[in-house]
Structure 1
Amino acid sequence: MSQCTLAVFQHHPAEGVGRIAVWAQHHNIKLVCFYAPEDLPKSLANFHGLIVLGGPINVADNPLWMQAEAELITQALILQRPILAICLGAQLLAAKLGGQVIEMPAPELGWQDITFNDGSVLTVPQWHEQAITLPQHIAVLASSGQCPVQMYRHQHVIGLQFHPEWDAKQIEQLAEFFADECPITTGPHTQQHQTQLNQFLFELLDAQFV
Structure 2
Amino acid sequence: MIQKWSQAHGYDMTIYHPYYSGQLPQASDVDLLVILGGPMSPNDSLPWITAERTLIATLLERHTPIFGACFGAQQIAKTLGYAVTKAPAKEVGWAPVYRQSDVISGLPETVMALHWHEEMFEVPAAATLLFSSEHVRPQGFVMDHRVVGLQFHIEPLADNVREMVANDAAYVTGSVLDQSPADILHRPVPTANEAVTYRLLDYICEGSRQP
More strand by share: 1
The amino acid of 1:195's aligned partner reads T
Q: Which residue of 2 aligns with 1:152?
A: 141
Distance of 1:131 and 1:196 partners within structure 2: 24
Matched, 1:171 2:167: no
Mark the runs of 5 or more structure 1 residues left unpaired by the alignment.
Answer: 1-18
Matched, 1:73 2:76: no
Distance of 1:140 and 1:91 partners within structure 2: 14
TM-score with structure 2 setting the length? 0.82
Mark the runs of 5 or more structure 2 residues left unpaired by the alignment.
Answer: 102-107, 173-180, 207-211
Q: 1:207 to 1:134 in 2, by over 3 A?
A: closer
Q: Which residue of 2 aligns with 1:106?
A: 89
Percent identity between the two aligned chains: 28
SS at match of 2:135: coil
- Asked if the contact 1:40/1:69 (under 8 Å) is kept, the reply is no
Report matched runs for 1:170-209 at 5 Å.
170-181=160-171, 183=181, 185-187=184-186, 189-191=187-189, 194-209=190-205
Distance of 1:114 and 1:45 partners within structure 2: 35
Pairwise CA distance, 1:178:
2.4
- Residue deviations 1:152-180, cap 9 Å, x none? 01112110101111111101111222244
- Asked if the contact 2:95/2:112 (under 8 Å) is kept, the reply is yes
Q: 1:137 to 1:81 in 2, by over 3 A?
A: closer
- Residue deviations 1:30-55, cap 9 Å, x none? 11111113142362112211001111
Q: 1:179 to 1:136 in 2, by over 3 A?
A: closer
- Alignment RMSD (CA, Å): 1.9
99, 116, 122: which one pairs with 1:133?
A: 122
Q: How many residues are treated as equivalent by the alignment? A: 189
TM-score with structure 1 setting the length? 0.83
Q: 1:207 to 1:137 in 2, by over 3 A?
A: closer
Matched, 1:49 2:32: yes
Distance of 2:111 and 2:63 partners within structure 1: 29
Q: Which residue of 1 aligns with 2:209?
A: none
Deviates more, 1:134-143 or 1:52-61: 134-143
